[in-house]
Amino acid sequence: MSEENTNKCEQQELLPLKKLYYSISEVCGATNLEPHVLRYWESEFPTLRPKKNRGGKRAYQDKDIEIICQIKRLLYEEKYTISGARQKLSEDRQAAEAGSPKRARSKANEIHNAQPPQETSIEGSCQEPCDLQSPQLSQQSAQISSDLIGSVKKELEEILALLK
């Protein structure tokens, strides 16, 4: 594959018309990939899930095309394996979400909804979970929740300052 074709994904003007949805043939033409490759990648990469229209045809959005370009770069240029590229995409996504207020809210919800570790009797004969809650866990949970709320508040204040 020539360097021009490999770098084609890095260009912002992949598709001549700016549309909300693109067909698989338009995406194939823009990324220089075959349709069967895109369909295979959909089965291998959970982040690549284009919507389907009423007729059952794939309808790719800009975010899907960005993911395709990332996958293509990882596989063809950086020589990752499929599983390695999947893991790298997952790590990149988690890193991107880690700084967002949405991610902080979801972490706060996880902590709020978290169940304390289940305790069992010494003999191990207790098969049902006990309803005992440790005061230390409650204090730790409260501290973590207040820390997350503080960080979300700080981020929202920064966003508000940027909007002014």
pLDDT per position as a tens digit, 17-66? 788 899 999 999 989 999 999 999 999 999 999 999 999 999 999 999 99
pLDDT confidence band for 2 (50 / 70 / 90): very low
Neighbours of 126 (CB within 10 A): 12
pTM for the model stands at 0.54
Q: Which one is predicted more confidently, 95 or 111?
A: 95
